[in-house]
Copies of this chain bind each other. A is one copy, B any other.
Amino acid sequence: MSFTIQNALVTVENGYETADVEVVDNCISAIAQNLEPVETIIDGKNKLLLPGFVNAHTHSSEMWQRGIIPPLPLELWIAELYDFTPLEPEQIYLSALGTAVETLLSGGTSVVDHLVLIPGKELETIAAAVRAYQEIGIRAFIGPLIQDESLTAGMPTGDSAIERAAYTRPTKATLELMETAIKQFHKPEKGVNILLAPTGIQLCSDALFEGCIDLGDRYNICLHAHLLETSAQKQLAHEKYGCSAVEHLQKIGFLTPRTSLAHCVWLEDSDIAILAETESTVVHNPLSNLRLGSGIAPILKYRKAGVNVSFGCDGAASNDSQDLLEAIKIGSILHNITDLDYRHWITPRQSVEMASQGAAKGLNVADEMGSLTVGKKADFVLYDLTSLSLLPRTDPIGLLILGRPTNAVNSVWVNGQQIVAEGKVKTIDVDALRRELFDRSEWTSKRQSPMVGEIEAHYRQVMKLPIGG
């Protein structure tokens, strides 16, 4: 698997130049002009070569519910999500493929799948996702989504008492399951990494967090969780811990340079200082934060404080797409309205760095990927600069990040393997995938969620919204 990309546009300090990029085995072995080609020659003319981006937070199986959940805040939206029939492992496999295809065709070479587990078929769920990601060839970071408290625990009580049902699986069994998953599936050299991914403070005990920290230390595994996505969660943290969620997570040792935290919308300045101090990474999911009305994460403050930030699409039931370029665009320009001083706004080049190098850092692989550097893994993307959506020619990165590129990804390599060529995924049959997704689903209009009905009155009371009407 050796090849030379000839005459591609690459970035240099504040500009661009044309260069050849040589890959031997699965790593970048040279970047220079007029390299002597090795084995296969790839024509990079009129194409931009960038490091692969990371879809740094998603839930692949939510693809089955995309488009169907009405505009609702997280706490009611999740009740709708829970109402859907549990999936089968074959569906997990198909939605992982679909998530991978959309990620690849929007500049991603890695995906962080905070994977919802089918009750009673937890290892089969993980196996199905692993199979999909290995078949298509995207680099995968799979964080089986675990919790040890039931859904009703995730809502602040406010002044009222609500019933808290016991969770079905004991904490200890969940941690044993995670250890089995690590032993069985964590194979970084084969492109599959397991993350320890408790869903968040709203549904997890300290024992679960601490068990994950311990496993992470023993197996050198990264940590991942949701953090303060909604104001209700902020209120819950204070009810639960008597301090902020961030203070509590720091106290128990969950915040490390190997920890990435999705959302981080409702942090105080003192919390931001803790993230900076612990070198934790924030995964920004701007689209689901808007769709669910969660708020705007204070990304400019994070950057000013030196907190590392990357981008995620989030699950397709709350976005409802897996287009990474969309998440990067909106996650960049959204913050211009939060700070009058345009000198703090995120530039397109900074966005590219956050989506590649920033994400790699949060997954503890910054020495192996995230930039076009000799010695790093060949995870990169060639964009076709003759696509109408990237014309007329101006600043290629400005066009890519601030525009809405369509059919712009020409080729993708992961670990030196070419996965996309001429805009088409080569490793799987995408038409067959479309047929499977079509045949296993049906068009429908609005559905009624019984669970939303049950908890809506309580939610409106806690959030001080008018009841009825």
Contact = CB atoms under 8 A, between A and B. Distances in A.
Interface of A: 9, 14-16, 63-73, 76, 98, 101-102, 105, 287, 289-296, 316, 319-321, 323, 326, 330, 333-334, 336-337, 339-343, 345-347, 385-400, 402-404, 406-407, 430, 433-434, 437-438, 440-446, 463, 465-466, 469
A404 B444 contact: no
Contact of A345 (B16, B293, B337, B437): B293
Q: Is the interface of A mostly helix, strand, loop or mixed?
A: loop
Given A66-B399, A330-B330, A388 B336 contact: no
Give the copy number.
2
Given A294-B337, A319-B403, A392-B437, 14 more contacts: A66-B399, A66-B402, A71-B346, A71-B347, A72-B342, A291-B333, A293-B337, A320-B399, A321-B389, A323-B406, A385-B443, A388-B434, A388-B437, A395-B444
Contacts of A463: 340
Contacts of A287: 333
Contacts of A342: 71-73, 76, 293
A334 to B, nearest CB: 6
Contacts of A292: 336
Contact of A403 (B15, B66, B105): B66
B445 A15 contact: yes
Contacts of A343: 469
A343 to B, nearest CB: 8
Contacts of A73: 340, 342
17 contacts: A14-B446, A16-B443, A67-B395, A67-B399, A68-B398, A71-B336, A71-B345, A289-B337, A290-B330, A290-B333, A291-B336, A321-B404, A341-B465, A386-B438, A388-B430, A391-B437, A393-B438
Contacts of A64: 392, 394
Nearest to A391: B437
A208 to B, nearest CB: 30
Given A290-B333, A394-B68, A340 B465 contact: yes
A393 B443 contact: yes
B443 A396 contact: yes
Contacts of A14: 445-446
B337 A295 contact: yes
The CB with the most chain B CB atoms within 10 A, among A64, A98, A392, A399, is that of A392
